[in-house]
Structure 1
Amino acid sequence: MKWMILLWGLASGFAGAELKVEKSEGTLKIFDDGSLLTAYRTDWKVPYLYPLLSPSGANVTRHWPTDPGVEGEEHDHPHHRSLWLSHGSVNGYDFWAFEDGKGAQIVHQKFIAQGVDEQGAAYCSVELAWQAGGKTQLKEKRDHRFWKIGEDTFALQIDSELTAADGDVVFGDTKEGMLGLRVDRSLRLNGPLAKSHIINSEGIEDGKAWGKRANWVAAYGPDERGEPAVIAMFDHPSNLRHPTWWHARDYGLFAANPFGKHDFEGNPDKTVGNYTLKQGKSLKFRFLVFIHHGDLQSADLPAVWTLFSKF
């Protein structure tokens, strides 16, 4: 298939179409032929990306609460901001839902680099600080790389390097984390406008995919314009505890979480999934978000996984 040929090129550094980058204070926007494709935003307690568009022009992630005027959206979980990365227990502080009231936040400190490379792919690197308890718990360097592949596919790679900034850091065992994606109304399994399904790399479908370990998980069905769409998240084999557990909810939340073993496996030991990062040491993660205008067959997610696993 044409898009697969282009994706093979992607693996060697070739992008199918040139994107454009526009930066302002605290925000960076990615444009495709003059149309907004996505934006990195810092107007919340953690940075996030919204919107996230399919090549059809439809937004495939939740609008609310960033855009509160969209009909048919449910106003639950205000911390589910389109696409974001955080965790619910970092040295006991809640960077996910902020239910502990301790003032945790992931602070955008600066843009390190941004632009469009010689192959036409857009990139954005940022420096972040996970702050709580009057100090920086973690320093983070987060790299985003965006590709428009042919006419029907958009891909986003996120690389995160987390460094224990001031003493050891314990990532606690909780289902609330880590790379989170909240899909749009029609791409949900359940809900008043839901029309879609869930599948993972092991062939496990719909509600049974929750808490399972897999290379990837995907939602597929009609987007907000009624066009066929697939949105998938991939866990790189270099990541801690790969293949990760997936917090894949029928109401539209998908999250890759290597720390939630107690919750996902029903282990009576509530600390079994804890992970300690020693002071000054770093932990790296790599994820791919893949958006395809088409069906599961044309998306060919197993082939995407094979390519992604090699770089």
Structure 2
Amino acid sequence: MFARKVKIKVTPSTLQPTIFVLKMTEDEFNELNEWKQEDCDLYLVDESTKKELHCQISDASLEATPDGNLRDYCMYILVNNLESEEDTTYTFSINKRKKEEVVLPNGHSYNPWGKTKGVFLENQLDNKRVIVCINGALFTRYLYSEDLPKPYFYPLIGPAGKTLIHDQADDHLHHHGLWWGHDSVNGHQLYHEFRGEGRQRHVSFLSCFSGPVFGQITALIDWQANNGERLLRETRTMRIYNMPNDSRYVDLVCQLHATEGDVEFSDTKEGGFPFVRVNEEINGHHTGQILSSNNDVGESNVFGKEADWVDYTGKIKRGSNYVTTGLSVFVHPTSDDYPAKWFVRDYGPFTSSNFHFCGGHTIKRGDKYTFKQRLYIHKNSPEEAFVNRRYEEYKEVLKAVLT
């Protein structure tokens, strides 16, 4: 029995479902990890009600160097449907039953991941893609083939059961759902995908794992000139939480490492870290509305202005009905580009991060530049989805206490 206990404070203002984080020392982490056993699930159990909370321990940070993820010793707790109390004390428990090995069918199947639980990642080496499922349903794919000009994520499945982002739009074939790029890196173009441009090359995965509370991908990517010269190295992390499809969190950290020398990103609007291209159904020319944390509405009122977050919400057709759904991008106060000025367009693309509004930027040899954002996928309007309060939760993580 692991003798330590955990206290969690849920107040009337706590939005649920949500994630609490317990920070630990390395020794505490190692002690708990050894007790838990590799083949068992970890839970917290309410001493009075016996209600169980799913937990996950991980020492993989969102941040990384080209050599690997930094260490961050934490336990992540999935909280839902808890009554508001000053403090609730939980004991640790493990499910002694061994986890069932996921055996994917060899033949054709509409959804071969249907029996998977939590956030499940399958790295398909032959297809050069990582499949991400949440409780048996496809959520996204990370596509990293060397035949692609740049790796990217597509789709992002939302509350309507359809993607909220758009790949290879007719008007901009280089827009790939959720992607990273810039049109002038030491004078080299790594954005439009014209002949003779540079490329982003997937090198390896620094981490790629599943879990009951979250799954994580951290990729190492080389940004190359058209002659193959390496311009810089990028570490790109996507952490997907086991939240329901009407209020889903995805954390993004992109770090640009000047490993080869100074890296100059010239002043151009053609770039994003990342760029998002929303589904045409919810863009500003159809049912969509752009809203910022300043309560500014529409492209003309949001473009070029500082904001903590920007939301794109509209209606997506499902059968004979329409589902109001949206995608918010939050910028963390510790992101190097905070406070961010936003590039937004009614036809669908938007980003908080592209060096345009600061007149370009140079990363000195040996330094790095870090972008930190959270995607919040929600049902209903931004007001009904409490976008502003969800941002506050991102800015100041909900903390559990080890006693």
TM bucket (normalised to shorter chain) is 0.7 to 0.9
- Report which structure shows greater RCO (CA 8 Å, sep ≥6): 1
Question: In structure 1, how many angstroms separate the alpha carbons of the residues matched to 2:337 and 2:311?
Answer: 20
Aligned position for 1:83: 178
1:234 and 2:327 aligned: no
Matched residue type, 1:282: K
Question: In structure 1, how many angstroms separate the alpha carbons of the residues matched to 2:317 and 2:386?
Answer: 22
Q: What displacement does 1:94 show? A: 1.7
Gaps of 5+ in 1: 66-73, 262-271
Q: Which residues in structure 2 correspond to 1:1-311 (within 5 Å)?
A: 4-9=15-20, 13-15=76-78, 18-25=118-125, 26-43=128-145, 44-62=148-166, 64-65=167-168, 75-99=170-194, 101-117=195-211, 119-132=212-225, 133-150=227-244, 152-178=246-272, 179-190=274-285, 194-208=286-300, 209-225=302-318, 226-261=322-357, 273-310=359-396
Q: Which secondary structure does the structure 2 equivalent of 1:299 belong to?
A: coil
Q: What displacement does 1:297 show? A: 2.0
Q: What displacement does 1:122 show? A: 1.2
Paired residues of 1:15 and 1:121 also in contact (CA < 8 A):
no
* Percent of aligned pairs with the same amino acid: 26
Question: In structure 1, how many angstroms separate the alpha carbons of the residues matched to 2:395 and 2:140?
Answer: 25
Question: In structure 2, how many angstroms separate the alpha carbons of the residues matched to 1:3 and 1:35?
Answer: 27
Cα 1:145/1:288, change in 2 over 3 Å: same
Q: Which secondary structure does the structure 2 equivalent of 1:303 belong to?
A: helix
Q: What displacement does 1:134 show? A: 3.4
Q: Point out the more displaced range, 279-288 or 149-158.
A: 149-158
Q: Which secondary structure does the structure 2 equivalent of 1:138 belong to?
A: strand
Normalized per residue, the structure richer in strand is 2
Q: Deviations over 1:56-102 (max 9, x none)?
A: 3121111x43xxxxxxxx51111110101122221111212245x54
Matched residue type, 1:292: H
Question: In structure 1, how many angstroms separate the alpha carbons of the residues matched to 2:135 and 2:18?
Answer: 20
Q: Which secondary structure does the structure 2 equivalent of 1:186 belong to?
A: helix
Cα 1:181/1:151, change in 2 over 3 Å: closer
Q: Deviations over 1:90-119 (max 9, x none)?
A: 1111212245x54311111112221123x4
How many residues in Structure 1 have an aligned counterpart in Structure 2?
A: 287
Question: In structure 1, how many angstroms separate the alpha carbons of the residues matched to 2:344 and 2:175?
Answer: 13
Cα 1:304/1:93, change in 2 over 3 Å: same
Report the TM-score, using the length of structure 2 for normalisation. 0.67
Question: In structure 1, how many angstroms separate the alpha carbons of the residues matched to 2:306 and 2:118?
Answer: 35
Q: Which secondary structure does the structure 1 equivalent of 2:232 belong to?
A: strand
Paired residues of 1:175 and 1:257 also in contact (CA < 8 A):
no
Paired residues of 1:139 and 1:165 also in contact (CA < 8 A):
yes
Aligned position for 1:71: none
Paired residues of 1:163 and 1:283 also in contact (CA < 8 A):
yes
Gaps of 5+ in 2: 1-11, 23-74, 80-116, 398-403
Q: Deviations over 1:252-294 (max 9, x none)?
A: 1111225112xxxxxxxxxx62211111211111111111122
Matched residue type, 2:18: L
Matched residue type, 1:157: D
Q: Which secondary structure does the structure 2 equivalent of 1:223 belong to?
A: strand
Cα 1:95/1:58, change in 2 over 3 Å: same
Normalized per residue, the structure richer in helix is 1
Matched residue type, 1:285: F
Matched residue type, 1:280: G
Question: In structure 1, how many angstroms separate the alpha carbons of the residues matched to 2:184 and 2:394?
Answer: 29
Q: Point out the more displaced range, 237-246 or 12-21.
A: 12-21
Q: Which secondary structure does the structure 1 equivalent of 2:333 belong to?
A: coil
Q: Deviations over 1:234-263 (max 9, x none)?
A: 1111122312121110101111225112xx
Paired residues of 2:158 and 2:245 also in contact (CA < 8 A):
no
Report the TM-score, using the length of structure 1 for normalisation. 0.85
Matched residue type, 1:286: K
